[in-house]
Amino acid sequence: MSDAKSYVKKIQEQLHEKDPNQKEFLQAIDEFLPTMVPFLEKHPEFEEANLLALVSEPERLIQFRVPWQDDKGNWQVNRGYRIQFNSALGPYKGGLRFHPSVNLSILKFLAFEQIFKNSLTGLPIGGGKGGSDFDPKGKSDSEIMRFCQSFMTELARHIGPDLDVPAGDIGVGGREIGYLYGTYKRLKQYDAGVLTGKPLGFWGSKVRTEATGYGAVYFVKHLLNDLKDDFNGKKVIVSGSGNVAIYAVEKLQELGANVVTVSDSNGFIYDETGIDVSLLKEIKEVKRQRLTAYAEQKESAQYFAGQSVWDFDTSADLAFPCATQNEIDLEQAKLLVKNGVKVVSEGANMPSTLEAAEYFIENGVLYCPGKAANAGGVTVSALEMSQNSQRLQWESEEVDQKLDDIMKNIYEACRDTAKEYGEENNFVLGANIAGFEKVAKAMLAQGLV
């Protein structure tokens, strides 16, 4: 075994020993570290500095109590978290997730991936993530507001426009960011740059809402362009029906693809005439209803209750998982390959299990990992920080063009780095090495503090 290989294995073993119960974090580590071997063979100085051990340890973990009162007057308590993982390239940056499954392992995996995603954007942002095991489903608007106010009452002391800048994620959209921002402002001062994903009326960025979904599509647009191909007539499976999924569907349809599915945690919609994105937005963003409402209003739509869209046996060209982690397992990956899927672009974070991702790569699927393909959201968040510092709001066309340009750069960095290390089309390896190199160099130059 080469030196680099045994070093990587040693660090993996140490991390497994330290936190044996952090399943998702260890999955992200097991995906990332082995791809560092060829890089360390070329750059032994990073191994000498024990950089992999350093980069796998968060700079700071914050956990706090979030008490709040429900509409019946009962006191509830949830856990709040913020992981400040790495600040080598700039202030910690990453979303807040409100979902009952949230725990330290999930947030550590998300924050770890965020370091390299943010590095890939080429913008001055470090990596972080946070959230709560609070379940927003079925809560009234006032309950959401009270929860957000209590959450920010503690979080405010740990964040700031030049320190740590949270944004949204699952369960946290414009409404929640508005409530969180209001409380921050009351406790500290007017400082728009402390949160991104703000509504447009108080210094949000145009195209932020659309950015993650659009970005995942732009990534594939540049990939298809290399193959002298485009989206015209392509049949696409999308999962999820939240922020990322809606805008992935919108951009895919705009570029000529036919998206036939969307899903939520209760089931999925198959609409062979193509998902009606205006109807989807009305149901999810305005009325905050479930997907069953879509099937009730669209005659061509079929609703499959209690089933995963990834078990649906239908031919397709492209797949965009945009719901959550580990939604595609090995069997489902096999089904996608059997059904002709040639490109998988991850709008969600780590939606494919390690085995599923390996199967895609081994079987020639152009597999675009979340940390590269879904970087559009954080890209426009960083552009929102720039606009807030300038006290300016840029036009949609300008932001959209910058987003497209940055997604092109990210795609090319993944492509070229994979090629440089003799693993053509292995965008996982390309993304990991290209993302890590900048962070590692900065850490080394800063004296490994």
Q: Which of residues 364-423 bind ligand NDP (CB under 6 A)?
A: 374, 377
Q: How far is the CB of 380 from ligand NDP (least distance, A)?
A: 8
Strand pairing class (318-320; 75-86): unpaired
Q: Does 264 bind ligand NDP (CB under 6 A)?
A: yes
User: Which token pair is 90?
Assistant: 């700039």
Q: Does 177 bind ligand NDP (CB under 6 A)?
A: no
Contact with ligand NDP (CB under 6 A): which of 323, 356, 403, 406? 323
Q: Does 347 bind ligand NDP (CB under 6 A)?
A: yes
Of 12 and 239, the one with the shorter C-beta distance to ligand NDP is 239
Decide: helix, strand or coil at residue 86: strand
Contact with ligand NDP (CB under 6 A): which of 244, 275, 368, 434? 244
- Region of residue 60 (left: phi > 0; alpha: psi -120 to 50; beta: else): beta
Q: How far is the CB of 240 from ligand NDP (least distance, A)?
A: 4
Q: Decide: residue 363, CB within 10 A, 0-12 exposed, 13-18 middle, 19+ buried.
A: middle
117 assigned to active site: no
Q: Decide: residue 383, CB within 10 A, 0-12 exposed, 13-18 middle, 19+ buried.
A: buried
> For residue 390, what are the contacts with CB-CB under 8 A and spacing of at least 6?
none
Catalytic pick from 93, 108, 129, 284?
Answer: 129
Query: How far apart are the C-alpha atoms of 377 and 373, rounded to whole Å?
Result: 10
Contact with ligand NDP (CB under 6 A): which of 51, 115, 322, 373? 322
Contact with ligand NDP (CB under 6 A): which of 155, 295, 348, 382? 348
Strand pairing class (127-132; 75-86): antiparallel
Q: How far is the CB of 98 from ligand NDP (least distance, A)?
A: 8
How crowded is residue 9: how many other Cβ atoms within 10 Å of its Cβ?
14
Q: What is the DSSP string of 211-267?
A: HHHHHHHHHHHHHHHHTT--STT-EEEE---SHHHHHHHHHHHHTT-EEEEEEETTE
Q: How far is the CB of 265 from ligand NDP (least distance, A)?
A: 3
Among the listed residues 381, 412, 434, 403, the one whose alpha carbon sits nearest the alpha carbon of residue 128: 381
> Phi/psi of residue 220, each to 5°?
-70, -30
Q: How far is the CB of 351 from ligand NDP (least distance, A)?
A: 7
Q: Which of residues 69-88 bind ligand NDP (CB under 6 A)?
A: none
Question: Candidates 33-41, 169-177, 396-404, 435-443 — which segment interacts with ligand NDP by CB under 6 A?
Answer: 169-177
> Phi/psi of residue 63, each to 5°?
-130, 140
Integer-rounded Cα radius of gyration of the chain: 21
Q: How far is the CB of 243 from ligand NDP (least distance, A)?
A: 4
Contact with ligand NDP (CB under 6 A): which of 143, 169, 176, 250? 169
Contact with ligand NDP (CB under 6 A): which of 242, 369, 430, 435? 242
CB-based contact 326:302 (threshold 8 Å)? no
Q: How far is the CB of 447 from ligand NDP (least distance, A)?
A: 32
Query: How far apart are the C-alpha atoms of 392 and 130, rounded to whole Å?
Result: 28
Size of the site for ligand NDP (CB under 6 A): 22
Q: Does 319 bind ligand NDP (CB under 6 A)?
A: no
Q: Does 210 bind ligand NDP (CB under 6 A)?
A: no
Of 264 and 317, the one with the shorter C-beta distance to ligand NDP is 264
Question: Candidates 8-16, 82-90, 347-355, 392-400 — which segment interacts with ligand NDP by CB under 6 A?
Answer: 347-355
Of 184 and 320, the one with the shorter C-beta distance to ligand NDP is 320
Q: What is the DSSP letter of 58?
A: -
Residues acting as catalytic residues: 129
Query: Would you tell me which residues interact with ligand NDP (CB under 6 A)?
Result: 168-171, 212, 240-245, 264-266, 322-324, 347-349, 374, 377
